[in-house]
Amino acid sequence: MASIKRFKFKLTTEQLLEMLYWLKLIRAFDERLSVLVRQGRVRSGVYSSIGQEAIIVGSCFGLEKDDYICPLHRDLGSFLMKGVSPGVMMAQMYAKATGLSKGRDSALHSGVPELGIFGNTSMLGANTPVAAGIALTFKLEQRRNVVLAYFGEGAANTGDVHEAMNVAAVHKLPVVFICENNIYAYSVPIEKSMAIEDVADRAEAYGFDGVSINGNDVLAVYQAAQGAIARARSGEGPTLIECKTYRWHGHSEHDPAFYRTDEELAMWKSRDPLTTFTTYLRHRQMLSDEILLEIDQRVVKEIDEAVAFAESSPDPDPSEAATDMLA
């Protein structure tokens, strides 16, 4: 089997700093949500991506507007990177009329076609056949756009993921499958749900390349994603990128996560994607104290404004509880 060609995609200092901004914004959004849940102000199920941010930032960075993302339930950050404002996402979590769903549902169960965002149902893996469908239209229209389809290592075991990977392979559809392997599917560790170590190994069986990478290294994710995206754009079909990572919080904010050890958590915290990347930038003299402070202040301000927007937004109008059933 041919191995993935190695590319080196160059990034400017400005772009690297923008990546840092996104990492921090997404972290801050999730941290704030965590507090808001504890305060009882957000009633939605919150599936924190803290610890996994490098996957979304590394893969969504540089996407074109017409490229599509089909995220999993933990990927709120991808909505932000694709152009939804933090305020609208916060309003979505607050079930306000200004959210994407207008209060009909929370979390990531809504999307924005103009921004190339597909919001899945709760059904794990059900986004991947839809991703294949979107990719099929890119192929039919001979566009150079790509679809990024995300799923957890838990969802990797659904029939939909299998069906979608197979169809994407048969027709060489421009999909990049990104498996966020954070070891646990809710409480179940990977060794209790699959008999292989790397989800990436499955790609070969479908007839395309799979790689397993350090999902906590934003640049590693970026390089792998860019390679896969370039191949997809030029008609070479799908790739599976398995990003090894770890979620710091429980499955949701209501999960105490007693099924794992403090030592394990501490080990993964020492591989914090934000710290690692900050250190990298520091070593390369790209990140001064002033810039760091600037980014941190901008992030706090944006999250504060998002919360203020959500809290001051109106509740949905009761008259819209059963509308929009049919077009």
Partner 1 sequence: MAREIAYLDAIREALREEMRRDPQVFVLGEDVGAYGGAFGITKGLQEEFGEYRCLDMPISESCIIGVSVGASLRGFRPVAEMQFGDFITCGFDQIVNQAATLRYRYGGRVACPIVVRAPVGGNVAGGLYHSQNPESWFVHRPGLKVVAPSTAWDAKGLLKAAIRDNNPVIYLEHKYLYRRAKGPVPEGDEIVPIGQAAVRREGSDITLVTYGAMVMASLDAAERLSKEGVEVEVIDLRTLSPWDKGAVLASLEKTSRLVVVHEDVKTLGLGAEISATVMEERFEHLDAPVMRVTYPDSHCPFSAVLERENLPNADKIADALRTLAAY
Q: What is the rounded distance in angstroms from the CA atom of residue 206 to the CA atom of residue 122?
A: 26
Compare residues 189 and 314 and give the one whose CB is closer to partner 1.
314
- Burial pattern 199-234, b for ≥16 Cβ within 10 A else e, equals bbebbeebebbbbbbbbbbbbbbbbbbbbbbebbbe
Which helix (H) or strand (E) segment is 180 a member of? strand 175-181
The size of the chain, in residues, is: 327
- Range in contact with ligand TPP (rule: CB under 6 A) among 81-89, 119-127, 233-241, 282-290: 119-127
Contact status: 2 vs partner 1 (CB under 8 A): no
- Choice from 136, 257, 265, 292 touching partner 1 (CB under 8 A): 136
Distance between alpha carbon 224 and the CA centroid of its chain, in Å?
Answer: 15
Print the binding letters for residues 56-95 with partner 1: x by CB under 8 A, - otherwise: ----------------------------------------
Partner touching 238 among ligand TPP, partner 1, none, CB below 5 to 8 Å by kind: none
Alpha carbons 155 and 127: distance in angstroms, whole number: 10
Asked if 128 interacts with partner 1 (CB under 8 A), we say yes
What residue 186 binds from partner 1, ligand TPP, none (CB within 5 to 8 A, per partner kind)? Answer: ligand TPP
Q: Which is nearer to partner 1, 49 or 106 (CB)?
A: 106
Residue number, 40 or 113, with CB nearest to partner 1: 113
- Residue 78 CB, nearest distance to partner 1 (Å)? 16
Beta pairing class for 184-185 and 188-189: antiparallel
* Separation between Cα atoms, residue 101 and residue 41, nearest integer Å: 18
The C-alpha angle 204, 221, 242, rounded to 5 degrees, equals: 30
Among the listed ranges 10-18, 101-109, 189-197, 251-259, the one in contact with partner 1 (CB under 8 A) is: 101-109
Nearest distance from C-beta of residue 238 to partner 1, angstroms: 14
DSSP β-bridge partners for residue 264: none
Distance CA 242, CA 230 (A): 17
Q: In the bound complex, what is the minimum distance in angstroms from residue 282's beta carbon to partner 1?
A: 42
Q: Within positions 250 to 269, which residues make up the interface with ligand TPP, using CB under 6 A?
A: 251
Name the residues that contact ligand TPP, by CB under 6 A. 72, 74, 122-124, 152-155, 180, 182, 184-186, 251
